[in-house]
Amino acid sequence: MTQPRSTRKPAASKGAAASAEKSDEPRTIDFRGLTLTVPKPADWSAELYFAMGDLESGKTKIAGANGVLAAMLGQDQFDQVREALIEEQVKFTDVEEILGDLFMAAMQSYGTTSGESSASPES
């Protein structure tokens, strides 16, 4: 049984992504009432690299996705996201899509998408 896709738009706008390419400063994104800071890619940690590898390999789908976001945003901000979703009583079946939206918004804040570096010719 397929769940209907959400019509929510990612938190980062195309204009924000375009302006993000012009400077190398940390970005902020608004997500479900939280203002989160996304570090600039040059400051992303080895932990994020390995978490993305675990997720990509399919070894740990849920733990991998959580690890990627925690490594990207920092554990404190990830905990805020987690608490907000629990407080909103978000359904189990909706969490993966919501966290996917957050990941895409974080990547788009720098004008990139998953699997595309900021040095990509299409950026």
DSSP per-residue codes, 43-81: G--HHHHHHHHHHHHTTTHHHHHHHHHHHHH-HHHHHHH
pLDDT the model gives residue 55: 79
Q: So what's the pLDDT on residue 99?
A: 92
Instruction: Please give the residue that has the higher pLDDT: either 113 or 95.
Output: 95
- 65 located within any domain: yes
Average pLDDT in the chain: 76
Q: Determine the pLDDT at residue 22.
A: 53
Domain boundaries, position 23: 14-108
- Structural domain contains residue 2: no
In a domain? residue 90: yes
How many separate domains does the chain show? 1
Q: Is residue 44 part of a domain?
A: yes
Query: Tens digit of pLDDT for each residue in 10-61?
Result: 444 455 545 545 567 888 999 999 999 998 888 888 888 888 887 777 766 7
Report the relative pairing of strands 27-31 and 34-38 from DSSP bridges.
Answer: antiparallel
Q: Is residue 5 part of a domain?
A: no
